[in-house]
Amino acid sequence: MEMEAIRQLLENVKNGQVDVDEAMGKLRTLPFEDLGFAKVDHHRHLRNGYPEVIYCQGKTVEQTKGIVEKLMTRNNNIMATRAGREVFEGIREVTEDAVYYEMARIVVVNRREIQKTKKVIAVVTAGTSDIPVAEEAAVTAETMGNTVRRVYDVGVAGIHRLFAQAEVLMEANVLIVAAGMEGALASVVGGMVDKPVIAVPTSVGYGANFGGLSALLTMLNSCASGIGVVNIDNGFGAGYLASMINKL
């Protein structure tokens, strides 16, 4: 339940449009609702500014559907991450409003409009192979009400491609940089701009990449200032953090 909904409920009690018992019933499951297999956090929008996001990996389709049904009762916008097409089809059985972003592996159900910020988040990738992680970040940021510009396949192996996008990078308020292999792109971008850079190491690379570990260590050891690093392949975390910064 969002802040405005609680305010309206209290106004209705005050005006006699809703009795106390009915209001208590609405507020009873405000902190969380126990489904047995999950405790749905209805209070998160009040605490964090955005409802609970469903991480689908490791959950059954039926479990995900059950969580979606409960979140929908509060008129929440719903985002389900790491969702395969079978999860999307399951959610579509609950609501026809679901939209599937296949590259990002995200299902979105928009129950109410979020006004978009004019300040831009730039999502940048070193290579085409990094795009799935970048799309997870971009779709997350867009769903949370941000304007996103995508700058893809501009890695250090052809650094002139990056410099050709310098204007876009410098106009952004927050930047997300997804890179695999050795992960050098985040340092280069960090040296070009005066805005925070969120680096996302990806698991793209040959054997010595160690599933993204080499990129992670490069980003953590960057000599450029103003770079923060999220976990390997964590596009969602980068998009969420970028949104929080962008709306300060």
Residues 108-131 have a mean pLDDT of 89
Q: Any idea which residue has 């005066």 for tokens?
A: 194
| Start-end of H helices in the chain | 3-14, 20-27, 44-48, 61-72, 85-94, 131-143, 160-163, 166-171, 185-190, 213-220, 235-246
The arrangement of secondary structure in 120-246, i.e. its CATH architecture, is 3-Layer(aba) Sandwich (3.40)
**What pLDDT was estimated at residue 28?**
59
- Which residue type occupies 60? T
Residue spans of the domains in the chain: they are: 31-109, 120-246
Length of the chain: 248
**What gap in Å lies between CA 85 and CA 69, rounded to an integer?**
18
**pLDDT tens digit sequence for 64-107:** 888 888 777 766 788 899 999 999 998 888 888 888 999 999 99
Per DSSP bridges, beta strands 33-34 and 227-229 are unpaired
Which pLDDT tens digit goes with each residue over 186-239?
999 999 999 999 999 999 989 988 999 999 999 999 989 999 999 999 999 999
Range 144-154 average pLDDT: 94
Phi, psi of 54 (to 5 degrees): -90, 120
pLDDT tens-digit readout, 19-69: 777 766 666 556 665 566 565 555 556 565 666 788 888 989 888 888 888
* pLDDT at res. 27: 62
